[in-house]
Amino acid sequence: MKSSVRTFKLEEKIVKGLTATEKKILPILVQAVKQVDKIFLVQENDLYKGANLYPHDATREEIEQAAEDNSRIFSPFTIVKRDNTGKLIAIDYHKEYSKVLASVSSLLQTASKHSDNKSFKRYLETLSMGLAEGKYQESDRAWLAIKDSNIEVIIGPHERYIDKLFFIKRAYQASVGIIDREKTQRAKFIRDIFYTTTGYRPQRITPPSIVDVQVQNCIVMSGFLGRAIFSRQHLPSDTETTERYGSRILGYLSAIDFKFERFINPIFNAIFEKNFRASYSKKLLEEGNYYYVLLTAIAQQLHRYRNSRSRLKELFPILDEANSVVSGITHAKHLVLKGVIDQKTLEAIMIAQICWAFSEWILYRTSNLREDYLKGDALIFNFLIREGALQEKSGISWPNFAKMFFEMENLAVIFTRFLEEGEYLEAQEFLSKYLSLEPFKDFDQHLIKIKPL
Amino acid sequence: MPFMDKKFILTRQGLVSLKSEYDELTKVKRTQITKRIQTAREFGDLSENSEYDAAKEEQSLLETRITQLEDVLKRAEIIEPVKKADFVVIGSTIVVEIEGEKDEFTIVGTIEADPSKKKISNESPVGTAMLGAKVGEVVEVVTPIIRAKYKILEIK
């Protein structure tokens, strides 16, 4: 299996901004982050819906039945195996992966000893202990309480996307980067505009404090994060922790830039007509791409509703992604109206959205890791094509921005309602009407030169 | 209006703040950055000197801002503080309702605009549409892509 470690080169001046102690700690944390790859490689398996988190021969029904007697079967932090008698049993992650976790913990301990930032030191200590003992809430709290650190590091079992069977079990992931203060400030400003223009919704999960935002130059990602190359993420991923202690959005500049060069810009040149393309410089498109990632990240955090995961089951990640995209873009209306961004930037954001859908389609050629994202994007794409907001001829796309925006506003209402109070069956009905990957195939002739990772 | 004739609308407070920024940049920062460049030069080989490059880059940004401020200060048009008016003017703080949500902001000249501090430019789509509107009025703001309706609840 190919390594999940992805390293990004940073400009020298970014590293120069670190304190002397931080410069000492950074290589240790990089080493700890890379170690996580070993756990992820044991967890992932594209061939099975339950990856390597459940026995490959166990059916959904058998697992559900076993969970009735043993609730730990459905813990996000256990792996399900068979004992000698064939019975399904749950084994804690921290026991199953103890060898690698001991090494990661030890590196975190070393880093914490060097640190002279009290809150960061405490985070590293609690993380080191939490990973080894399978206790995650304390380090989540310590992470949210970090102050004045230029380094951002996360390690742990976080995202559920590799569990396509139940969307419960978490995959290990890690990243370390250097915070970009200016971009973080700007992102907070956009967040504030979003938050003051969103209506009251009784089912919304409201963190006790305003959701923090942090934009960083990532140095290395590994585990699920390295494999999926996320551009954005919000943590902690646990609803209870978020509701009690708060939440933080992470924006990964290195991944955003990497994806722009590798996918977004080449896709733009491949599927849009030449004269249409001439109106959008690379710089403008790059800006639109950055805003797109930021807007969807903030919208995703803004639209967290109680019980949505349990109600919508495996449909949740698809609808969550789709809603983040359309709600993110429609919330951008306030940025245009107040003169924060101009009309052309909004167009570039919408172009980036289409290109992102195709980047998921290209990545899907070799991996189903981001399948839920692709499906979320496909829902939107099909809706826009059917409503005539997006015209397609011989694999070349022509957007009508006004109509696109109007239809996205409609979709945002539909998806938000599904997440808020929708039932599984009605969501399934909507998906059966609009979820198809077929329309992407019409563009394949133009995308053939853009290779997946 | 030709660009060179364009006036920059500023409140007195805005003018004071821009003047103080100009003074800080020309009297303090300019000297600081010159010293930094001088020190960086002493590190040797300029082609491999990242500190020198960073300082030069900062100097260029500083000089651009100074030029911009000189231009604004030269063409500034001061608007007097608004007493409570019946309709929206530059300087009005207004409370509006949009899509069931209340929002409050002040309409200011473009140079002073800072939406994060609820200061919206008179040249933004909302600013343009609001000017002259009265309490109770529903103002439709239309751009080629977006349509939005604001109801004016209060003019402060």
The domain boundary, picked from B51, B78, B105, lies at B78
Query: What's the CATH code of the domain at B99?
Result: 3.10.50.30
Query: Closest Cα to residue B85, out of B154, B14, B1, B5?
Result: B154
- B55 and B121 in a single domain? The answer is no
Sort out which chain A residues have CB atoms less than 8 A from B148's CB and list them.
333, 337
Q: B143 and A337: CB-CB below 8 Å? A: yes
∠ Cα A320 A321 A323 (to 5°): 65
Tell me: pLDDT of B3 over 70: no
User: What's the structural domain count of chain B?
Assistant: 2
- Select from A198, A302, A334 the residue whose CB has the most chain B CBs within 10 Å, as the one to mutate to test that interface: A334
Determine the distance in angstroms separating the CA of A387 from the nearest CA of chain B, rounded to an integer: 16
Determine the distance in angstroms separating the CA of B109 from the nearest CA of chain A, rounded to an integer: 12
Instruction: Check CB contact of B132 with chain A, cutoff 8 Å.
Output: no
A170 vs A175: CA distance, rounded Å:
16
Sort out which chain B residues have CB atoms less than 8 A from A196's CB and list them.
101, 103
Amino acid at B72: V
- B103 and B137 in a single domain? The answer is yes
Number of residues that this document lists for chain B: 156
Evaluate whether residue A200 is within a structural domain: no
- B42 and B17 in a single domain? The answer is yes
Q: Positive or negative, the Cα torsion across A219, A225, A229, A232?
A: negative
Query: What's the CATH code of the domain at A36?
Result: 3.30.540.30
Q: A339 and B145: CB-CB below 8 Å? A: no
B124 vs A174: CA distance, rounded Å:
42
- Cross-chain CB nearest to B145 (options A197, A339, A401): A401
Determine the distance in angstroms separating the CA of B124 from the nearest CA of chain A, rounded to an integer: 5
Amino acid at A173: Q
Please, which residues bridge with residue B98 across strands? B101
A172 vs A212: CA distance, rounded Å:
23
Amino acid at A88: L
Determine the distance in angstroms separating the CA of A107 from the nearest CA of chain B, rounded to an integer: 31
Determine the distance in angstroms separating the CA of B72 from the nearest CA of chain A, rounded to an integer: 19
- Select from A336, A343, A351 the residue whose CB has the most chain B CBs within 10 Å, as the one to mutate to test that interface: A336
Average pLDDT over residues B122-129: 94
Determine the distance in angstroms separating the CA of A194 from the nearest CA of chain B, rounded to an integer: 11
Evaluate whether residue A199 is within a structural domain: no
Q: A13 and B54: CB-CB below 8 Å? A: yes
Task: Please tell me which residue of chain A has the smallest CA distance to B119.
Answer: A338
Q: B50 and A347: CB-CB below 8 Å? A: no
| Prior bond of A236 cis (ω within 30°) | yes
Question: What tokens appear for A51 in the block?
Answer: 């990856």
Determine the distance in angstroms separating the CA of B110 from the nearest CA of chain A, rounded to an integer: 9
Domain encompassing residue A294: 249-447
Number of residues that this document lists for chain A: 453
Domain encompassing residue B50: 3-78
Q: A405 and B120: CB-CB below 8 Å? A: no
Query: Closest Cα to residue A133, out of A171, A158, A174, A105?
Result: A105
pLDDT tens-digit profile, chain A (453 residues): 799 999 999 888 888 889 999 999 999 999 999 999 999 999 999 899 999 999 999 999 999 999 999 999 999 999 999 999 999 999 999 999 999 999 999 999 999 999 999 999 999 999 999 999 999 999 999 999 999 999 999 999 999 989 989 989 999 999 999 999 999 999 998 888 887 666 667 777 776 677 899 999 999 999 999 999 999 999 998 777 888 888 999 999 999 999 999 999 999 999 998 888 999 999 999 999 999 999 999 999 888 888 898 899 889 999 999 999 999 999 999 999 999 999 999 999 999 999 999 999 999 988 888 899 999 999 999 999 999 998 877 767 788 999 999 999 999 999 999 999 999 999 999 999 999 999 899 889 899 999 887
pLDDT tier, B57 (very low <50, low <70, confident <90, very high otherwise): confident
Instruction: Check CB contact of A163 with chain B, cutoff 8 Å.
Output: no
- B74 and B87 in a single domain? The answer is no
Count Cβ–Cβ pairs < 8 Å, chain A vs chain B.
63
- A426 and A326 in a single domain? The answer is yes
Q: Phi/psi class of residue B91: alpha, beta or left (left: φ > 0; alpha: ψ in -120 to 50)? A: left
Task: Please tell me which residue of chain A has the smallest CA distance to B125.
Answer: A337
Residue A307: count other Cβ atoms within 10 Å of its Cβ.
13
Q: A339 and B126: CB-CB below 8 Å? A: yes
- List A residues 203-242 in contact with B (Cβ-Cβ < 8 A): none
Q: In angstroms, what CA-CA distances link A14 with A11, A215, A435, B51, B98?
A: 6, 13, 43, 12, 41
The domain boundary, picked from B56, B78, B100, lies at B78
Long-range contacts of residues A441-447, Cβ cutoff 8 Å, at least 24 apart: A442/A392, A442/A395, A443/A270, A443/A271, A443/A358, A443/A361, A443/A392, A443/A395, A443/A397, A444/A395, A445/A395, A446/A270, A446/A271, A446/A395, A446/A396, A447/A267, A447/A270, A447/A271, A447/A358, A447/A361, A447/A362
What local confidence, expressed as pLDDT, does residue A389 receive? Answer: 92
Determine the distance in angstroms separating the CA of A11 from the nearest CA of chain B, rounded to an integer: 10
Q: Show Cβ contacts of residue B5 under 8 Å, excluding neighbours closer than 6 positions.
A: none
What local confidence, expressed as pLDDT, does residue A43 receive? Answer: 98
Instruction: Check CB contact of A398 with chain B, cutoff 8 Å.
Output: no
What local confidence, expressed as pLDDT, does residue A122 receive? Answer: 97
- B23 and B41 in a single domain? The answer is yes
- B48 and B97 in a single domain? The answer is no
Q: B50 and A13: CB-CB below 8 Å? A: yes
- A18 and A100 in a single domain? The answer is yes
- A295 and A170 in a single domain? The answer is no
Tell me: pLDDT of B1 over 50: no
Tell me: pLDDT of B4 over 60: no
- B58 and B103 in a single domain? The answer is no
- A163 and A259 in a single domain? The answer is no
User: What's the structural domain count of chain A?
Assistant: 2
- Asked whether the beta carbons of A152 and A125 are under 8 A apart, the reply is no
Least confident of A50-59, A352-361, B11-20, B81-90: B81-90
The domain boundary, picked from A127, A156, A178, lies at A178
Q: B125 and A347: CB-CB below 8 Å? A: no
What local confidence, expressed as pLDDT, does residue B8 receive? Answer: 83
Sort out which chain A residues have CB atoms less than 8 A from B121's CB and list them.
339
Query: What's the CATH code of the domain at B74?
Result: 1.10.287.180
- Select from B111, B116, B141 the residue whose CB has the most chain A CBs within 10 Å, as the one to mutate to test that interface: B116
Sort out which chain A residues have CB atoms less than 8 A from B143's CB and list them.
336-337, 343
- B62 and B86 in a single domain? The answer is no
Q: A199 and B121: CB-CB below 8 Å? A: no
- Number of C-alpha atoms within 13 angstroms, CB side, residue A384? 32
- Cross-chain CB nearest to B125 (options A13, A197, A337): A337
Token pair 């439709």 is at which residue?
Answer: B140
Q: B115 and A193: CB-CB below 8 Å? A: yes
Q: Which H or E run contains A402?
A: helix A401-421
